[in-house]
Each structure stands twice: as C-alpha cells, then as structure tokens.
Chains A and B, each alone.
Chain A
C-alpha cells in the first residue's frame, strides 16, 4: 500500500537559518508513527513544515498529492489536522465555538454531527463544559479540546505535538488511550512528537529518531525499545 505521507529531502528555515537538513521518511496508512529526539532536534519544525507554518523546501506528498507548495489552510482542508505545541486554544471562545470553528470548512453535515458525538463519547468532560470559556479549562481539558478540534476537521492524518506536555500522569494516560481509540475506531493515522519516549514507543508502531535536523535511526517501535542507544539516551535505563 502506498504511504499516506511521504517526505523526501525536506528542508525548513527560520529566517535564514536552516533547521531541517533534508529529512526523508514516510507514514503508513492507518498507523501511528512517532518522531523522537532531544530538544532542538527538529521534531516540532517537522510538523510545522508539513503544515506549511514555516518556509520549507523538498517534497511532501500526502495521499498522492504534493502539498509542499500549499498554504496551511488548504492543507488542513485536505485532511491533515495539526494539534499544535501549547494546545492552540482559542481562549476567548467557548468550548462549543472552539469545536464549531473547525467544522465550518466541511460539506458533510452528517459527518460533522457524527464526529461531534464521537468527541463527546471520548471526552464527556467537554460536553459538561460546552458553554464555558475555553481559557478557563484546565491544561488537560485544553489538550482534550485541541485533539477534539482536530477531530472535528474530519482528518485522515493527525499531527500531534507533545500532547503530554505539562500534564499529570493520570491525565496523560487517559489522553493516550483516547488517541489509540481515535486511531483504531475513526481510522485516523497519526504522527506523534513526544518528549516522553517510553510513552510514544508504547503507542506507535513505527519510530524515527531525529538529531539536529536529520533522521539518524528508524524502525518498528518494538525494535527501537530494545536498542541500547535508544534506551540510554531516551528511555533512561
């Protein structure tokens, strides 16, 4: 089967500084793939380059279509939902409005209703807080809202940037369980960036390790978990 996302020779720039030096990797249809790496390795930049939030060069093909020249808004509408670092909450809008805004570009109104029901089954807490201002939610609830907002886009691929960041372990566990369900039940493929490598390797089937803007290692998560280098640098035992 052709990969859902295929990236080759990807370079990204912040001003004149090159942050990614020709990355190549691909994501299989239907699976969860994770990008590991230390701070500054280029994980977030890779996601931002796919979404067109930074200047980039190279080839990015999503579902057979080149998206490397497209604007962020259009990539989003093709079915790539980016859950950004820091959750990207619209703090002044209500929870309901945060969800609504993501579904405006969609034509399939029945699909929108189905996805909204799905969101409330996964995160009943959001239903309770539907009228509340999103800025008053706790960090965990805002992360749930961010994932829900992405889900309301009706995506085929979710880009998740550090969904565990700053959250209590129990909440993280809950959110990661839901992520697996979204992957299995809604058929959404995922590209996950995580500081917490153990967590990421447990969820994902495949992993790539980034170092200063290059892919230095790749393989099935199970293999990488047992790699001595990975264990020492990222898993800490």
Chain B
C-alpha cells in the first residue's frame, strides 16, 4: 500500500511536467492547428541556458527567471522570423520546419555544451519531513511550481485583456481582426508563452532526468500523449491528461511488479511503462477521438 501511494505520488510529479509540456503544445495548436514537434528541444535548449547561468554563479531562481524571459523572446522571434512567412504554407512544409527546428536546437545544444550528461541542481532543500517516505522534496517542488505556473496561465487567459485577445484570435482569427486584435502578434505571443512554459518544465525535470540533448525526447512523447488524451483543443483537459499519463505509467510498473511477485509471472515492468501507457492512450483515442474532454468541431459548409 505504501508503495502504491509512493508510485502515485511520483506519477503526479512527472505528470506535472507532462502537463506543462501538454499545455505548451495545446497553446500553439489551438492558435495555429499545428503540433510543434520542436517544443521539447526548445525546452531542452532553455534548460541549458539556465544551467549555464547557474555555472556562471547566478542563484537558481534568478537564473530560471532570466531563462523564462529568454525563452519567451526566443519563441516570439521564431514565430515572427521563421513561421510568419509560412502562414499560408501547406501543413507538410510547416512540419518540415518544425523538424528542422528540432534538429537545429538539438545539434546547437550538443555543439555548445557537448553531449555528455550533466548534473542539474535542484532548487529545493533536501529535507525530510512527515510523509517524506512517500515523496521527495524535489518532487513536491516540481508539483508546486507546475501548479503555480498553470494557475498563473489560467488567470492570465481568463482575466486579462491580452489573454482574452489571444483566446479570441485563436478561436476566430477573422472576427478577431475585425474587432481590432492584432492576430499576428497574438500568435507570436502564444509561441513565446509556450516556450516559457517549456523552459519551466525543462528546469524542473532536469534534476531528475539529468541534462543532456536527448532529455526531453520521451517527455515530449508523454506530453503529446497527455494532450491527446485530455483533448488537444482543451487546455484544462490537456493538463489533466498530462497528470493522468504520469500516474498511469507508474501504476503500470507497480501492478506489473505486483503480479510478478504474487504469481511469479512477468508481464509488464519498468521497461514497458512507455509501451503500456501509449497502448492505453491509443485505446482512449480509438474510443474517443477528440480526447476525454475535447470537443469535436463541426464545420458548417
């Protein structure tokens, strides 16, 4: 039982990261109908920036603050410079651009900082407290920071004029322009925010998975899965999906180990976490193609 709680808790911790990545994906998807394959590599690159600043002697939180700002500007710049000329391009050319961005950030990080695995410091004190048998301080910190980020974003979109303008631009670009919203800039802003969210996810997960150019590969996959399960068009659903996938993958390992212990038969274990989680995702999508909370859009023609 204790082990089960522990597994769920650490599932929630990694789920928080998947939720952030899923949210970053959804933000760009709702505005442009494109899935940004480079989201993970952009987050990885940001994490390296944060690491570099810490190496130069900055304390963790100021370094992260600067990284968030840098990532935001980088996201805006990518949209304005690279994607802006492609607004009317076919889906395929945009996918190629995303893959290109992915490769560029990957080799750029490898080139600048080398491919060797690096330690990334955790900003949270390594204390023990009641219940610490279940969950580590960094994991709690991960969950808290992610939740804080999620609430800040929801408040921004729900209560600020700019947030409303961004939602309007994503929902109906033509109507948004007709009420004076600068839709092009809203897209760039969306890219900036997504990149900033990715940077937080990267810096939070790096102490766990260690820093290297491939660190975000499987996390992006889980993020995709979370976003799709929750509904790619629904930010709240995507966040829930992220947490769900995180808990699910740990439960798979837990119950796999349990059956092995009880019946002596090995069916699934730690090695099959990703596989089984993705099978569950595919099953959900087969039954509910729009995701658990997604809405199917009906177009009148």
Contact = CB atoms under 8 A, between A and B. Distances in A.
Contacts of B171: 90-93
Contacts of B165: 101, 104
Interface string A87-110: 011111100010011101100000
Contacts of B181: 73, 101, 104
B162 to A, nearest CB: 9
Interface stretch (B114-122, B126-134, B172-180, B260-268): B172-180
A88 B174 contact: yes
B180 A88 contact: no
Interface in B175-197: 175-183
Contacts of B183: 73
A72 B168 contact: no
Given A84-B174, A84-B175, A104-B161, A92 B167 contact: yes
Interface in A64-119: 72-73, 76-77, 81-82, 84, 88-93, 97, 100-102, 104-105
Nearest to A81: B178
Contacts of A104: 161, 164-165, 180-181
Contacts of A51: 178
B36 to A, nearest CB: 21
B178 A72 contact: yes
B177 A73 contact: yes
Contacts, number: 64
Given A97-B164, A100-B164, A76 B175 contact: no
Contacts of B182: 73
A104 B183 CA distance: 14
Given A77-B180, A153-B180, A88 B175 contact: yes
A56 interface: no
Contact of B178 (A76, A91, A93): A76
Contacts of B178: 51, 53, 72, 76, 81-82, 84, 88
A174 to B, nearest CB: 23
Nearest to B185: A73
Given A76-B179, A76-B180, A101 B164 contact: yes
Contacts of A82: 178
Of listed A73, A84, A89, residue having the most chain B CB within 10 A: A73
Given A90-B168, A93-B164, A93-B168, A101 B179 contact: yes
A89 B161 contact: no
A178 to B, nearest CB: 19
B164 to A, nearest CB: 6
A53 B182 CA distance: 13
B180 A105 contact: yes
Given A73-B182, A102-B179, 12 more contacts: A51-B178, A53-B177, A72-B178, A73-B183, A84-B174, A88-B172, A89-B172, A90-B172, A90-B175, A101-B168, A102-B180, A104-B164
Interface of A: 51, 53, 72-73, 76-77, 81-82, 84, 88-93, 97, 100-102, 104-105, 149, 153
Interface of B: 161, 164-165, 167-168, 171-172, 174-183
27 contacts: A53-B178, A72-B178, A73-B177, A73-B182, A76-B179, A76-B180, A84-B178, A88-B174, A88-B178, A89-B172, A90-B168, A90-B175, A90-B176, A91-B172, A92-B167, A92-B171, A100-B164, A101-B165, A101-B176, A101-B181, A102-B179, A104-B164, A104-B165, A104-B180, A105-B180, A149-B179, A153-B180
